[in-house]
Amino acid sequence: MTNCKQEAKNPSTENDKETIKEKRQSFENSAVYTTSITNDVKLQLTHAQLNFTDFIQPLETESSVLVNTAKQHQTLLGIGAALTDAAAETFYKLDEDQQKVFMEAYYSIENGIGYSLARTIIHSCDFSSGSYTYIEEGDADLKTFNIEHDRTYRLPFTKLAIEAAGGELTTYASPWSPPAFMKTNGNMLGGGKLKPEFAKVWATYYAKFIKAYESEGIPIWGLSIQNEPMATQRWESCIYTAEDERDFLKNFLGPTLEEEGLGDKKIIVWDHNRDLLFERANVILSDPEANKYVWGTGFHWYEDWKDGIPMYKNVAKVNEAFPDKKLIFTEGCNERFDMERIEDPKLPERYGKAMINDFNHGTVAWTDWNILLDENGGPNHVGNFCFAPVHGDTKTGKLIFTNSYYYIGHFSKFIRPGAKRLSTGTTSNPLSATSFMNVDGSIVIVAMNDADTRIDYFITVDGKTAKLAMPEHSIQTIVLN
């Protein structure tokens, strides 16, 4: 992970007296950072200065990226990952020096990749060592509610993350299942539905969780209603149709949060794959009584199990139909852990493609799944082992940084909360790109080449053009002042 320490600081124009317009024309300060899988380059400064000339018209045979800074779109909330039980348990099995490296690697802007967003879980999920809740089974009055379970690993781990992020980390929570007695199948695992008579109790459970975490010094910015509400999983899961989720929100969860003084918490609906994203959003957001409680719609990337093709277009459809609501990517990971695939370029490129496309279609926040897993892709109490950008080898106590970590870092390190997305276009299929303007006026362009050959390409920003080259299977971040 030492490569991150070779980078320049996130560009700042605090002492620059020029106007933003003048800086766009001159680009006197620029830098290019590259991660090349085949050349073993990891988020390194590869060009200290680009030479911009007057606009160069690319030919049809040439590749280019064009950025129009006058066309600005959504504002970035943040980029980060989930602080699960599995991540926390793995973290405390690392050597102490590696724990410090881990926190700096993820949360330092200067020496790491500057995460600013986190997701946490409301009691157990599959990435826990076992199923548990915060109450005794059958306690419909929630008199036994307590978060003692989380004090061993997840609470201290989350507090360290907040500290490493500079004392502020936008955090939201998601449940995987109500307690077994509240469900039609009498089991936290294997789907089932919330029994109608426990809807109010379950809504109150969310409020108790938020208050308990906040009493520990962990502010909860928001919550999703249910993780993957259309998936009957062998792990913790609970099924809600679109109408079920709509009615639970408007009749129970929304009013309960308001009654408990938590009406400012941001509520995320859906929290499942892109394929049914528009259908779910349409049902809930078309209802005025449900709509008023909704901050935005969350989504995952696992819909490609059908044919291998991500359905990015559905993100744009929701953004077009409900422009007053936000879009947030709430979960994605590379499934079926296999250490022999750890260097497979398809793993980090899945992140790069998704982040570029999701941002270009209106997404304001992007959350990876487990921030850390062990050398087996767990712990996971049902054997659903997966990849993470960083793995901790609990046998040696050491960290393993994968290419996915660096690919995500090309976005999170340089595109900071508050940045505005800029209109961006490319002229060849292997070349994809997005761009943002930070609040300090710096322009950040992220471009990716997923082809087997090098790409020579132009970058044009506000009528000025520079030439660049990108190795095969690589990603670049261009920072302009």
Contact between 297 and 278 under an 8 Å Cβ cutoff? The reply is no
26: confidence class by pLDDT, cuts 50, 70, 90: low
Mean pLDDT of 433-456: 97
Using CA atoms, how far residue 52 sits from 48, 414, 466, in Å, is: 13, 21, 5
Under DSSP, is residue 143 helix (H, G, I), strand (E, B) or coil? coil
Q: Give the separation between CA 305 and CA 311, rounded to whole angstroms.
A: 11
Whole-number mean pLDDT of the chain?
94
Judge whether residue 155 has pLDDT over 60: yes
**Do 268 and 325 belong to one domain?**
yes
H or E element, residue 417: none
Domain boundary among 372, 399, 414: 414
**Do 71 and 94 belong to one domain?**
no
H or E element, residue 463: none
**Do 245 and 392 belong to one domain?**
yes
- Which residues make Cβ contacts (< 8 Å) with residue 182, sequence separation at least 6? 194, 195, 198, 201, 202
**Do 303 and 215 belong to one domain?**
yes
Residue-range definition of the domain harbouring residue 309: 78-414
Q: Give the separation between CA 156 and CA 92, rounded to whole angstroms.
A: 10
**Do 367 and 433 belong to one domain?**
no
Domain boundary among 393, 414, 435: 414
pLDDT tens digits for range 93-110 = 999 999 999 999 999 999
**Do 290 and 363 belong to one domain?**
yes
Q: Give the separation between CA 188 and CA 184, rounded to whole angstroms.
A: 10
**Do 162 and 25 belong to one domain?**
no
**Do 107 and 165 belong to one domain?**
yes
Residue-level pLDDT at 7: 39
Which parts of 261-312 fold into alpha helices (H)?
277-285, 288-291
Residue 250 belongs to domain with CATH number: 3.20.20.80
**Do 345 and 444 belong to one domain?**
no
**Do 90 and 71 belong to one domain?**
no
**Do 183 and 315 belong to one domain?**
yes
pTM of the model: 0.94
Mean pLDDT of 302-315: 95
Total domain count for the chain?
2
Judge whether residue 271 has pLDDT over 50: yes
Contact between 271 and 302 under an 8 Å Cβ cutoff? The reply is no
Q: Which of 210, 124, 136 is nearest to 173 (CA)?
A: 210
Q: Which of 80, 36, 72 is nearest to 328 (CA)?
A: 80
**Phi, psi dihedrals of residue 285, rounded to the nearest 5°:** -75, -15
Residue-level pLDDT at 47: 93
Residue 447 belongs to domain with CATH number: 2.60.40.1180
28: confidence class by pLDDT, cuts 50, 70, 90: confident
27: confidence class by pLDDT, cuts 50, 70, 90: confident
Q: Is 67 exposed, middle or buried, given 0-12, 13-18 or 19+ CB atoms closer than 10 A? A: buried
Contact between 457 and 424 under an 8 Å Cβ cutoff? The reply is no
pLDDT tens digits for range 319-351 = 999 999 999 999 999 999 999 999 999 999 999
Domain boundary among 377, 395, 414: 414
Instruction: For the chain, count helices (H), then strands (E).
Output: 12, 21
